[in-house]
Chain A
Amino acid sequence: MSAWIILAQAGAELVPPRDEFGLPGPLWFLHMLVPLTFALHAVFMNFALGAAFIVPVFWGVGRRREPALLDAARRLVRAWPIAVSFTITSGVAALLFVQVLYGHMFYTANILIGWRWLAILGYLLIGFYLIYALDRLIVRDRFGAGMGVIVLIALAFLLVGHEFNNNSVLMLMPELWRGIHDGELRRHAPHAMWNPRMFHSIIGAVAVTGVWVAVLARGWRPYADDARRIAVRYGLRTALVATVLQVVSGLWFYVSLDPDVQRSMFAFSDPRAVLWMLAVLGGFGLLFLFWRGSEAPDDARWVVASAGVTAFVLVGMSAGREVVRLRMLARYPGALFTSADVRVQSGPMLAFVVALAIGLAVVALMLYWMRTAPAASSTLGPSRD
């Protein structure tokens, strides 16, 4: 018997029973909601983290030779808390559906991480309020103090990412649970995928934030054309560089996976795997789009195409994440819900779909009102005091 099988058997005893109330919706629907809500979460979460890398660069370059970038950095900082807010909001949705499908694994990992998991709340609060402090500093161009605060924000959000990474890996590996519980293993899940997974998330965050810069710059009003041009160009160039690195970290991530998991990433019978493969291709496509877009920053179409493909890549990557999850959990009999566990609550489910449609329509209406409203008198929003 290989060492791995012995380990896995030890872990199998610890896998909690699936919830006796089963799944309140069809499997396909829940399996769709998990990656979709996660991708939505990633759209904002990437900004929340990535801004900590992009803002200092823009600020530094901006105050030395490119004032438009300093202005862009200020506007980014002004938008940052909103991004964090939506990171949390969308994160709640992702958290809901992860609990439906994987709650028993997820909670166990939470508990094993324990206080460090709970510390995420503290990191979030610190990061969040520091962004408002940063706003005051960057408006006054207090670079030194600003850098100090940005380092703290970056640290806070990286620690959040670190614990989520821990949890995501740990919930898939019951073979580690006993050792961690008894204090024989470090809580930092010792799997080869841990480091590349973390890097993949950080670099991806920078890339997506670069796209955000270009998208936001197209919408900022009033805004001088050449300032807009510079912001779009720098945004997409940042995204381009990060995406090149992302190809490398992605490859590293892939080779760190167990062989059976790697094979399942290329299973054409699994729509998730197909989406993921398309997303990989999309990632290469992005290299082209970012390059063209940064060469022609006045042409809105490149920005729109970049944003669209980036969104698709996020969805596809989230689907790939599900492939890994499902493959790893399939090693443990009973860890995954099956169609026999389904107890559909059709009325409530429909109510959710209707509520979602209404909610999105209302949000769209408000955004439309904002877009068609005359520009605010002050370029940086309402006064601060």
Chain B
Amino acid sequence: MYYPAFEVPFVGGPTLIAVIAITHVFIAHFAVGAGLFNAIVETHALRRDRPLLRQFLHDYSRVIVLLPFILGAVTGVGIWFSIALVAPRATSLLIHNFVWAWAIEWVCFLVEIAAGYVYYYSWDRLSPRRHAAVGWIYAVAAWMSLFVINGIITFMLTPGDWSDRRAAGDYSGAFWTGLFNPTFLPSLLLRSVSCLALAGIFVCVVVNVVPRYSREERTTIIHTASHFLVPLVLMVPAAMWYLGQVPASARGLAFGGAAAMSLFFIFGLTCSVLLAVYAYVALVRKRGYVSLETSLLLAAMAFIATGSMEYVREGIRKPYVVRGYLWSNEIANQPAELARLNAEGVLAHAPWIAPADRRARADRLTRGRWMFDVQCAKCHTIDGLNGVAPLIAGWPRDLIRYNLDHLDKLKGFMPPVVGTPQEKDDLADWLFRLNPVHHEPTASPLASGVEGQRR
């Protein structure tokens, strides 16, 4: 409303964020897990004197420098860029509440990158003990960055009493409760487990790609790596713990309230458990071998599982970006703001969509279209993806108008319509005219507004 709209054709802004974010999470989780993997295995290799494992870690560290440090870093910036484009007010909210958390996370990131390069370039320079120490520095820094960022991500769904603390003027307290919110720990567990598993799966890929190892050596390395997949069984209890902490309405969406959401959720969990069982039975117990094709398949499963879980996490937050405070359409669920918008009108505060000079001479349909652009277009197109026209096909105008007063009840993942009664009337008129079959024959004068027409 306060910002110009960034339009992503066909799929919409949230999908753009999702594509970038899921790629990033997948790689970033791998980076954290690989850090832990390298630190643990290098220490183990030193104690037991196993040069094969050290050699492999050397090869593996190159993957870290090439994947997380490039694609991971760029997609990380990509998340910043895309959320600012699609949801600037939400981004601003997060920045102005949590910039110190992000700054701490940045320090972790800095140490992680520095340690990663030192680690990679010092295999033949530092003493093995020091080298392992650098590995641990990398691992701790990388995991700490996950620790911090996990707080901000979970905040959006379960902000705790952040808002009350702020209202009471306790800004530091609000920060800490917001960060260490009810879903912080279960989510940290879920993510840590996923990190370890991804590291293990990537080992299977890398060991098959680097030509230097014999079949037997590969089996040994894969056997070591397979232990990192077993914790995936914790996904189920951790997910239950997580769901136990989210608000009932959000839980409802994951369990049946929205079919797609439930499917993704079950799918993600099943994938994880299957991977764990496979790793334990076939790799840990039977010391089996994983070919390149199989390990790529495992990686693909892990990617889909990661994507599903991220999708569910995003999905069950609707209609909020920050639960209880900010809706997806960037209007805040705050009495003062709502009172102002309901009295003065939404369009009076949407200068990009409804410029002051054009507002005065706009007709009803134009104003209705503007209302749609301000409040609905973040989630709906007109007749494309989640298009509103087919959704209301056949609805009489009165029903449309009635539902505009009860939109948040109609479907749990929509915010209520804000604005003056006149503005809601205009929106109802415009919506009604989207499906031409239902036009009353006498209503033609209204159709003249050019901006009111479909694009």
Cα A112 to Cα B6 with chains together (Å): 8
Q: Tell me whether A89 is interfacial, beta carbon within 8 Å.
A: yes
Q: Which residues of A contact B127 (CB under 8 A)?
A: 373
Q: Tell me whether B208 is interfacial, beta carbon within 8 Å.
A: no
- The stretch of A67-75, A93-101, A237-245, A283-291 that contacts the partner chain: A93-101
Q: Which residues of B contact A112 (CB under 8 A)?
A: 4
- The stretch of B103-111, B291-299, B394-402, B426-434 that contacts the partner chain: B103-111
User: Is A96's CB under 8 angstroms from B95's CB?
Assistant: yes
Cα A104 to Cα B90 with chains together (Å): 11
Cβ distance B4 to chain A, nearest Cβ, rounded Å = 5
The residue in B5, B113, B176, B356 that gathers the most chain A C-beta atoms within 10 A of its C-beta is B113
Contact with A along B142-184 (1 / 0, CB 8 A): 0000000000000000000000001000011011100000000
Q: Tell me whether A347 is interfacial, beta carbon within 8 Å.
A: yes
Q: Which residues of A contact B141 (CB under 8 A)?
A: 359, 362
User: Is A382's CB under 8 angstroms from B175's CB?
Assistant: no
Near A by CB (< 8 A), chain B positions 67-125 give 69-71, 73-78, 80-82, 84-85, 88, 91-93, 95-97, 99-104, 106-111, 113-115, 117-118, 120-125
Closest residue of A by beta carbon distance from B6: A111
Q: Tell me whether B205 is interfacial, beta carbon within 8 Å.
A: no
Contact for B113 among A89, A91, A111, A367, CB less than 8 A: A89
Cβ distance A139 to chain B, nearest Cβ, rounded Å = 16
Near B by CB (< 8 A), chain A positions 58-117 give 81-82, 85-86, 88-93, 95-97, 99-100, 103-104, 106-108, 110-112, 114, 117
Q: Which residues of B contact A177 (CB under 8 A)?
A: 4
Q: Which residues of B contact A16 (CB under 8 A)?
A: 2-3, 88
For chain A, what secondary structure do more than half of its interface residues adopt (helix, strand, loop), or is it mixed?
helix
Q: Tell me whether A128 is interfacial, beta carbon within 8 Å.
A: yes
User: Is A121's CB under 8 angstroms from B81's CB?
Assistant: yes
User: Is B121's CB under 8 angstroms from A381's CB?
Assistant: yes
Q: A17-B2, A19-B96, A382-B58 in contact; A363/B85 too (CB < 8 A)?
A: no
Contact for B110 among A25, A89, A346, CB less than 8 A: A89
User: Is B84's CB under 8 angstroms from A110's CB?
Assistant: yes
Q: Tell me whether B260 is interfacial, beta carbon within 8 Å.
A: no
Q: Which residues of A contact B81 (CB under 8 A)?
A: 110, 117-118, 120-121
Q: Tell me whether B351 is interfacial, beta carbon within 8 Å.
A: yes
Closest residue of A by beta carbon distance from B174: A345
Contact for B95 among A81, A99, A128, A369, CB less than 8 A: A99
Q: A110-B85, A359-B107, A363-B110 in contact; A91/B77 too (CB < 8 A)?
A: yes
Q: Which residues of B contact A377 (CB under 8 A)?
A: 124
Q: Tell me whether A225 is interfacial, beta carbon within 8 Å.
A: no
Contact for B114 among A345, A352, A363, CB less than 8 A: A363
Cβ distance B254 to chain A, nearest Cβ, rounded Å = 29
Cβ distance B175 to chain A, nearest Cβ, rounded Å = 5
Q: Tell me whether A344 is interfacial, beta carbon within 8 Å.
A: yes
Cβ distance A220 to chain B, nearest Cβ, rounded Å = 13
User: Is B124's CB under 8 angstroms from A345's CB?
Assistant: no
The residue in B58, B62, B102, B176 that gathers the most chain A C-beta atoms within 10 A of its C-beta is B102
Near A by CB (< 8 A), chain B positions 314-353 give 332, 351-352
Q: A24-B97, A89-B110, A117-B85 in contact; A103/B91 too (CB < 8 A)?
A: yes
Q: A103-B92, A347-B172 in contact; A382/B124 too (CB < 8 A)?
A: yes
User: Is A128's CB under 8 angstroms from B74's CB?
Assistant: yes
User: Is B107's CB under 8 angstroms from A108's CB?
Assistant: no
The residue in B69, B172, B355 that gathers the most chain A C-beta atoms within 10 A of its C-beta is B172
Q: A97-B99, A382-B123 in contact; A13/B92 too (CB < 8 A)?
A: no
Contact with B along A332-363 (1 / 0, CB 8 A): 00000000000111111101100110110011
> Other CB < 8 Å A-B pairs besides A103-B92, A118-B81, A376-B121, 4 of them?
A25-B100, A107-B88, A125-B74, A367-B118
Pairs across A and B, CB under 8 Å, 27 listed: A19-B95, A21-B93, A24-B96, A85-B113, A92-B80, A93-B103, A103-B88, A104-B2, A104-B92, A106-B84, A108-B4, A111-B88, A120-B81, A121-B78, A128-B74, A181-B352, A346-B172, A352-B107, A355-B103, A355-B107, A356-B107, A363-B110, A367-B118, A373-B126, A382-B58, A382-B121, A382-B124
A residues whose Cβ falls under 8 Å from a Cβ of B = 13-14, 16-17, 19-25, 81-82, 85-86, 88-93, 95-97, 99-100, 103-104, 106-108, 110-112, 114, 117-118, 120-121, 124-125, 128-129, 132, 177-178, 181, 343-349, 351-352, 355-356, 358-359, 362-363, 366-367, 369-370, 373-378, 381-382
Top 8 A-B pairs, shortest CB-CB distance: A348-B100, A107-B88, A359-B107, A347-B172, A21-B96, A16-B2, A373-B125, A19-B96
